[in-house]
Amino acid sequence: MIRARAVIDRAAIAHNLMRVRAMAPHARVYAAVKADGYGHGATTVAHALAEADGFAVSSLDEALQLRWAGIDKPIAMLSQQLDATVCEQAGEYAFEPVIFHASQLDALEHYIGPALKVWVKIDSGMHRLGFAPAYLDEVQARLEALERVEIVGWLTHLACADEPSRPETPAQLAVFAEATANHRGLRSIANSAAVLAWPDAHADIVRPGIMLYGSSPMCDRDAASYDLKPAMHLSAPLIARNHIAAGETIGYGATWRTPEAMDIGVIGIGYGDGYPRHAPSGTPVLIDGVRVPLVGRVSMDMITVDLRNAPNAAVGDRATLWGGGLDVDEVARHADTIAYELFCRLTPRVRFEVV
């Protein structure tokens, strides 16, 4: 009688890491496990990725969570501001902060703890985080003047790697290559999309996230075509099967009308569990391997589906919302979002199980 349940498949996550290795055979892999392992559970994912060379998180809190769970690999903090306490903890736990703003240099100049390895982020054109190439010499000089700080390498992030024909990616790669040409250290550019579609961006260390969870970031290819396996199977029970007359409306706002007398299923998951409220009628749901399209509005605790294709579906059967035969990217497209958001928005009401 479990309501919404997310089963996390460690073998799938490990398999997807092998796919990263196959696609980028010469690079080391820092697995992106920020935002609680993209909603899958950061420590579960990190343990499943025991073969990764390191991890990438957003913040100090996320880095601490991994260390305290026994993860002893390098952990880069991608977007953590620095102050005296953060620097101290980064030194104590051997985290690798990414330096993306002058305010962080000020904090490092007052740091007196154990040796600290840092990455320097270059803004190669995305204009979110990082130093403009013109400032790199100055940044390097300030960091090299610090006895306790060592530059591990240089990184950048790509704005449009998920769209293979966009000219921005080669332009960013050129800016990064020129900016780092005279600097020693490792180079890291690639997110999942660049692992899959831009071999020139593989460099020394790749930082894939979403592909490890079995979703394709590419606009033109699905996850199965890259042999990626879904890491999360989200399911919920059919809690009612009702026969409704022709011409009746279903759910809040009466937005969907039965074209004929038909059975409507009610499934025990809604936006209170993180299922996207704006998923429209037609969004696929799976029962016993059969597609039963969502009809009407998503409620807090329930969704309603068209059971005309599933005459045998019975109360108590479990429906798949994504994973397990239903590509999360297809659901995301219907809901006008991305798999990243679907994963991250699941609420604590969902029961997580690890297999």
Ligand X SMILES: Cc1ncc(COP(=O)(O)O)c(C=O)c1O
Residues designated catalytic: 34, 252
Which residue number has the CB closest to ligand X? 209
Report 175-194 residues binding ligand X (CB under 6 A).
191-193
SS (H, E, C) 229-252: CCCEEEEEEEEEEEEECCCCEECH
* DSSP letter assigned to residue 224: G
Nearer to ligand X, 65 or 192 (CB): 192
| Residue 191 CB, nearest approach to ligand X (Å) | 3
33 lies in the binding site for ligand X (CB under 6 A): no
For residue 32, give the amino acid letter.
A
Nearer to ligand X, 33 or 250 (CB): 33
Q: Rule CB under 6 A: choose which of 78, 201, 223, 236 binds ligand X.
A: 78
> What is the rounded distance in angstroms from the CA atom of residue 128 to the CA atom of residue 27?
25
Nearer to ligand X, 98 or 313 (CB): 98
157 lies in the binding site for ligand X (CB under 6 A): yes
Asked if 329 and 339 count as a contact pair (C-beta separation under 8 A), the reply is yes
208 lies in the binding site for ligand X (CB under 6 A): yes
158 lies in the binding site for ligand X (CB under 6 A): no
Element spanning 43, H or E: helix 42-48
Indicate the length of the chain as a whole number: 355
Stretch that binds ligand X, among 20-28, 205-213, 300-308, 329-337 (CB under 6 A): 205-213
Name the token pair of 280: 């429209």
> What is the rounded distance in angstroms from the CA atom of residue 206 to the CA atom of residue 46?
16
Nearer to ligand X, 217 or 251 (CB): 217
Site size with ligand X, rule: CB under 6 A: 12
209 lies in the binding site for ligand X (CB under 6 A): yes
Helical packing angle, 84-92 and 60-68, nearest 10°: 30
Q: Rule CB under 6 A: choose which of 97, 125, 217, 284 binds ligand X.
A: 217
Helical packing angle, 102-109 and 136-144, nearest 10°: 10
Binding site residues, ligand X, CB under 6 A? 32, 56, 78, 157, 191-193, 207-210, 217
